[in-house]
Amino acid sequence: MPATPAPLPLSLGANYDPSALPRNEHGPVFNEPWEAQVFALAVCLSDAACFSWNEWTATLGQEIQAAQEPDDPRSSYYLHWLSALEQLCVKKGLVSGTDLHRRKEEWRQSYLHTPHGQPIELLAADKKAMPAG
């Protein structure tokens, strides 16, 4: 039976600052669609028992604690969610570190080869590299 996540807001112990999670009167809010997707993916993977909610909150808490270091360039709360999620997925064998790195690079190349204003497609880098024929 899948583990049931703790109700939100998350309990991260002494390191958790409830005001850090962007909220309005209806609940969490997100600046970008990817932030909502990371949030939902973490909840779904926990619901599917890929990792426990306690593992999730511990890993996220460590990421947030590391963000308190003065040289941390990450400015978005959800970048910490993303980093924690990537760490847990690799740790639990859901994806290899190599595959994760490769896919991130594929997206980066696609972004770099997509004309401004066009949707980014994963194949954009491959299309640009292919000779016209």
pLDDT in tens, 56-80: 999 999 988 887 766 665 567 888 9
Between residues 1 and 39, the one the model is more confident about: 39
pLDDT in tens, 79-112: 899 999 999 999 999 999 999 999 999 999 999 9
Instruction: List 27's β-bridge partners, or say none.
Output: 24
Give the whole-angstrom CA distance, residue 4 versus residue 57: 13
Q: Where residue 4 falls among pLDDT bands split at 50, 70, 90?
A: very low
Decide if pLDDT at 128 tops 50.
Answer: yes
- Domains, in order of start, for the chain: 1-95 (1.10.472), 96-133 (no CATH)
Q: pTM for this one? A: 0.67
Q: Sign (positive/negative) of CA torsion 63, 65, 69, 73?
A: positive
Nearest to 84 by CA among 106, 105, 54: 54
Residue 64: predicted pLDDT: 86
Give the whole-angstrom CA distance, residue 60 versus residue 40: 15
Residue 62: predicted pLDDT: 92
How many alpha carbons fall within 13 Å on the CB side of residue 67?
20
**If you average pLDDT over residues 30-45, what whole number do you get?**
89
- Summary mean pLDDT of the chain: 78
Asked whether 51 and 92 are in contact (CB, 8 A), the reply is yes
